[in-house]
Amino acid sequence: MANVKNKTRQPGRIAIDGELTIYTALELKEKLLTGLAEAEALELDLSEVGEIDAAGLQLLVMIKQQATETGKALSFTGHSPVVVELLDLSGLAGFFGDPLLIVRKPT
């Protein structure tokens, strides 16, 4: 299950915690579109994404396209290892245009 968090309660920042999969895509789609509509710039923190599949990747592509179409700024930050792996496998890292920042938890 995925949770959408606004860790610092800032408008324009959403953190996804958990799954970004076919099972959570519909729920997350509405939350991401609402977040994008409410801010001129949206930061999407992916550091706590523990699982992502093709549906999750499609959701990220959709929200990036929506931001472009509406003239809003969208950035992806804190890419978790599973997100980086899927971006590498898909060859879509360049599409998003954001530097990949991997946040590792201290061991």
H-type helices in 1-107, by residue range?
Answer: 25-38, 54-70, 81-90, 93-96
pLDDT in tens, 57-75: 999 999 999 999 999 999 9
Q: Which residue has the higher pLDDT, 94 or 35?
A: 35
More confident residue, 95 or 4: 95
pLDDT of residue 8: 47
Provide mean pLDDT across the span 33-50: 94
Answer yes or no: is pLDDT of 6 > 80: no
pLDDT at 7: 47
- Give me the pLDDT at residue 11, please: 67
CA distance 46 to 1: 14
**Residue in 54, 37, 35 with CA at minimum distance from that of residue 45:** 35
By the 10 Å C-beta count (0-12 exposed, 13-18 middle, 19+ buried), 70 is classed as: exposed
